[in-house]
Structure 1
Amino acid sequence: MAGLNVSIAFFFFTVGLCEVIRKLSKRIFPPWMYICLVAELLSSFQMCTCCLELKMLREIGPWGGGFGADVNLTLLFLLFLVHGASFDGASANPSVSLQEYLALDSSFGATVTKVLAQFLGMEAASIFTKQYWSRELTDFHMIQNLMARSCSSSLGTSASHGIFVEATCSFFFQLVILRLQNSSSVYRIPIVALTVTALTYAAAPFTGAFFNPALAFAVTFSCSGNSFVEYMQVYWLAPITGMLIAFFVYQGNIPRIFQKNLLYNHKNKYRIPKGKVNPDINEKRRKAEKTISCSRPTERTE
């Protein structure tokens, strides 16, 4: 249990460090830079660091520490509760950022900045975690250092099956995100955490259950066992495809590409009285709705 306690302390340290930097960054950087760059970078760093340590516990814990999947899934659920409460509107997921762009909630420049920050944060987390493991504070870390010299791919099935698994996970994850995007965080955060935990339980033996291109790139792309093209198909194209299908199913259209709703017929729930309609009122209403949608902060998480 000593190794598990050290890992839990590491989780607390990582989250606390990122939270302190968030507080300081809000005072230093302008809001647009904090939202598009700093928040995404810190959230990606926090997620990847915790996921790497949790992956180590999942692989070594059953035979090195005597605890099984129940401990890892519980830690995963608790970590995503913390992530949801501390990410401050960041997604730490390129698929979610792309979905926001397609929904006209984010500009092209902001989306590119977010995605670059996500990949940079994940890579920084990978370097930081490996340096932490090199200290060999526990037997787990000593074993992990020996295994890291010849790490194996997280893809434990064929590429075609892996594509299906990652696309399916991304589809259900994105549907939950879209459905709860305007819900209170009291309900949204636990449901998202539970969704991630359930999908991980079902898909981890096959692909690692990333459904996050940046996270998969930092964790498994450097490992042997599959080609770079196969990694791209499974961990980049599949999650994006799942996101596109989920967005189309939920929305009925993709506003950035086409406006016509192909699935749903939205009827006006307000009866318009007969007679002359004042165009100024309709114009003011449209401007008010546009202002609200543009000023509303994004609260989506990964």
Structure 2
Amino acid sequence: MAGLNILISFFAFVVVVCEVVRQACKKFVVFWVSTILYRNFACELISSLQLCACCLELRMLAEIGPWGGGFGADVVMTLLFLLFLVHGTSFDGASADCAVSLQEFLLLESSFVATTGKLLAQILGMKTAKAFTIYYWSWELTDFHLIQNLMAQSCTYSLQTSVSHGIFVEGFCAFFFHLILLNFQHSRPIYRVPVSALTVTILVYNGKN
């Protein structure tokens, strides 16, 4: 249970720090150009870092938790739903998703320059989150992290099914998720955020089974 508390503390730390940085960036927005820079780069970078860091830690729990700590799919799915609720509430309009940014560009909702800035910010945010999370794992604050570091020393095939089946499941889930986003993109956040979080949770649960 102590290990799970540390994981939850990590989630809280990442969300709080990213929100503080996000609010600090907004306070320094003075000119119109700065507003564009915040929306199309800074906000996407911070949100991508937040999302990726939390997802890496949650994936580690999903892979090691069942046999390394007795935490089953119910714990992982609950945390996933709650995290996406928090992400959807705190992202301040950012998608933190390359596919969503490309979708906005194809729908002529975003310019080429803005889309390029978003994609670069998202990639940079993900790379930073990965480096930060790996460094955090090196502290080995829990048995989960110790096992994760031992597993990382040997290359393993993470796809637990055939390539063709994996592509089909990934493609179907992505298509369904973006279909839901399109239907709710103009809805109020109080409806859009829970629907998005619930959709992700259901797709992840069914994709694993």
For 1:121, the aligned partner's letter is G
**Within 2, Cα distance between the matches of 1:170 and 1:153?**
22
Of 112, 130, 133, the residue aligned with 1:129 is: 133
Please state whether the residue corresponding to 2:154 is helix, strand or coil: coil
**Within 2, Cα distance between the matches of 1:48 and 1:108?**
24
**Within 2, Cα distance between the matches of 1:15 and 1:151?**
30
Partner of 1:251: none
Of 187, 191, 197, the residue aligned with 1:187 is: 191
Partner of 2:57: 53
Query: Could you say if the C-alpha distance between residues 31 and 153 of structure 1 is closer, same or farther in structure 2, counting changes exceeding 3 Å?
Result: farther
Partner of 2:11: 11
Gaps in structure 2 of 5+ consecutive residues: none
**Within 2, Cα distance between the matches of 1:186 and 1:153?**
39
Q: Which moved more, 1:153-162 or 1:137-146?
A: 153-162
**Within 1, Cα distance between the matches of 2:49 and 2:208?**
21
Q: CA deviation at 1:164?
A: 1.1
Q: Deviations over 1:112-160 (max 9, x none)?
A: 1101111110110000001001011111111111111124233222222
Q: CA deviation at 1:81?
A: 0.2
Larger Rg, first or second structure (1 or 2): 1
**Within 2, Cα distance between the matches of 1:2 and 1:117?**
35
Q: Does 1:22 align with 2:26?
A: no
> How many corresponding residue pairs?
205
For 1:51, the aligned partner's letter is C
Q: CA deviation at 1:204?
A: 3.2
Q: Does 1:2 align with 2:6?
A: no
**Within 1, Cα distance between the matches of 2:157 and 2:171?**
18
Partner of 1:261: none
Q: Deviations over 1:20-71 (max 9, x none)?
A: 0001111224110001001110111001100111011111111111120000
Please state whether the residue corresponding to 2:113 is helix, strand or coil: helix
Of 57, 66, 72, the residue aligned with 1:62 is: 66
**Within 2, Cα distance between the matches of 1:155 and 1:130?**
20
**Within 2, Cα distance between the matches of 1:182 and 1:175?**
13
Higher relative contact order (CA 8 A, sep 6+): 2
For 1:73, the aligned partner's letter is M
Please state whether the residue corresponding to 2:6 is helix, strand or coil: helix
Partner of 1:88: 92
For 2:37, the aligned partner's letter is M
**Within 2, Cα distance between the matches of 1:154 and 1:188?**
32
Q: Deviations over 1:79-110 (max 9, x none)?
A: 00000000110111111001100111100011
**Percent identity at matched positions?**
62
Gaps in structure 1 of 5+ consecutive residues: 206-302
Q: CA deviation at 1:203?
A: 1.1
User: Alpha carbon RMSD of aligned pairs, Å?
Assistant: 1.1
For 2:85, the aligned partner's letter is L
**Within 1, Cα distance between the matches of 2:163 and 2:85?**
31
Q: CA deviation at 1:166?
A: 1.1
* Structure 1 or 2: more helix by fraction: 2
**Within 2, Cα distance between the matches of 1:78 and 1:176?**
19
Of 162, 166, 178, the residue aligned with 1:162 is: 166
Please state whether the residue corresponding to 1:6 is helix, strand or coil: helix
Alignment of 1:192-271 (within 5 A): 192-204=196-208
Q: Does 1:114 align with 2:92?
A: no
